[in-house]
Amino acid sequence: MRIVSRPVEDNDLPQKNRLGSSPSLFKTTTKPERIRLPGQPGPVNFTQYSGYVTVDATAGRALFYWLQEAQGGSKVSDSVPLVLWLNGGPGCSSVAYGASEELGAFRINSDGATLYLNEYAWNKAANILFLESPAGVGFSYSNTSSDLKTCGDNRTAWDAYTFLLNWLERFPKYKYREFYIAGESYAGHYVPQLSQIVYEKNKGVSKPIINFKGYMVGNGLIDDNNDYKGMFEYWWNHGLISDATYQRLQTACALNSFENPSPACNDAQNAAYDEQGNIDWYSLYTPTCKKFSTKATRRQYRAGHPWLGGYDPCTEIYSTQYYNTPAVQKALHANVTGIPYAWSTCSDTVGVYWTDSPSSMLPIYQELIDAGLKIWVFSGDTDSVVPLTSTRYSIDALKLTTTTNWYAWYDYTAEVGGWSQVYKGLTLATVRGAGHEVPLHQPLRALILFQYFLNDKPLPNTTPKS
């Protein structure tokens, strides 16, 4: 039986978490070192740091981070918020996707050796902290090999919380700084779960070290039933599957887990994939990578990476080559223990052996809405894996009061950037022409969305000033 997440009660969060281990502060005297990457264009007007933070000394679990401070020098970076970015999977790297394909300061050239600047990097508006989580993903590791086969939502959330506490000891200037959490895809679990822990731990603290203000989630898994319902409806409405297959999916996958579907549900989805042909599920109207042009390779890829943020899977070739380069790892202070496997964009081991995955995040959303936190949910409208229809079903289930009716919002080019509806306690926004990875497909619109979120302003209903 799947365990449905619910609001945490006071006795759920004592000194020891539900795993029986306490989030511990590991004092460090190590001074963070600035980094410059091989093939990096320069000079740049921001500072970067990267390395490891221990989250469980007994097990030897350490998580890898990459901080890209805000552009404009210390006067800017010292005055703007800190934002933690998490990619999903489960088992996929925030370095591979968030930092290198989406909102990070650099993108990797096709030579796999040089970088170029991202014109719409989110560190134009905030300090961005990328975290590879859980242990076993990317450069993050555990000295206890069984950890890679026992990952789940609960430990991932608590390890991330411990990471934040210990990271702030290394970067004390970010203590008490305005702080947000953001992510996409399966981070639709990670983000609200970590947010809930931070919120609960901050209760009764007049000046919390983690000055948590809110979160945003893009194309995120929220509720298994609504996610399936909306995905199948999207496929059918966009002419991707037949009436018969649509009916089969509705029957076979009713009340199934998104993370562990039944054999009948898997068979029905495979039938749907065959009907869909050679398309990119994550971005319906963009070309596919020839590497995955056959049905067999597409199905194998999809099964191994169920909600991988993948605009063009070929871009993984560039990041895999770049981050497995010894000089790059040395510059990043990564792989310092000699991990016995190559860096990869996603860990099949972590993903395949995932343990706990609550069927719904809606109770957590409700708790944090009631707490008055800033919460935005955004959706690229050409993603067929976690589509807008799924998100709308989940938001509707919250039965929130509408404060601003559905309207078109505009980008700096006077084009419609998407649509938005504001509720009491939550903002829903779509991004026109974006797939699963919104900052990859529509970087300008994604940056506008992020800026308005930070400024706590509704998206513009007329052309904004750039």
Which residue numbers are catalytic?
185, 383, 436
Residues 224 and 378: their CA atoms lie apart, in Å, by 18
Buried b (16+ CB within 10 A) or exposed e, 92-116: bbbbbbbbbbbbbbbbbeeebebbe
CB 198: neighbour CB atoms within 10 A?
23
Residues 251 and 267: their CA atoms lie apart, in Å, by 12
Helix axes 362-370, 187-202, angle to 10 degrees: 40
Q: Which stretches does DSSP call E strand in 42-93?
A: 48-56, 61-68, 82-86
Instruction: Tokens 């929220």: give the residue.
Output: 222
Query: Is the separation of the CB atoms in 2 and 359 below 8 Å?
Result: yes
CA atoms within 13 A on the CB side of 226: 21
Query: Is the separation of the CB atoms in 51 and 65 below 8 Å?
Result: yes
Residues 443 and 102: their CA atoms lie apart, in Å, by 8
Residues whose CB is less than 8 angstroms from the CB of residue 442 and which lie 6 or more positions away in sequence, other chains included: 380, 417, 431, 432, 433, 434
DSSP string, 232-255: HHHHHHTT-S-HHHHHHHHHHTTT
Residues 183 and 94: their CA atoms lie apart, in Å, by 9
CA atoms within 13 A on the CB side of 18: 15
Query: Is the separation of the CB atoms in 179 and 213 below 8 Å?
Result: yes
User: What's the CA dihedral at 305, 61, 188, 459 to 10 degrees?
Assistant: -120
Query: Is the separation of the CB atoms in 98 and 87 below 8 Å?
Result: yes
H or E element: which one contains 365? helix 362-370
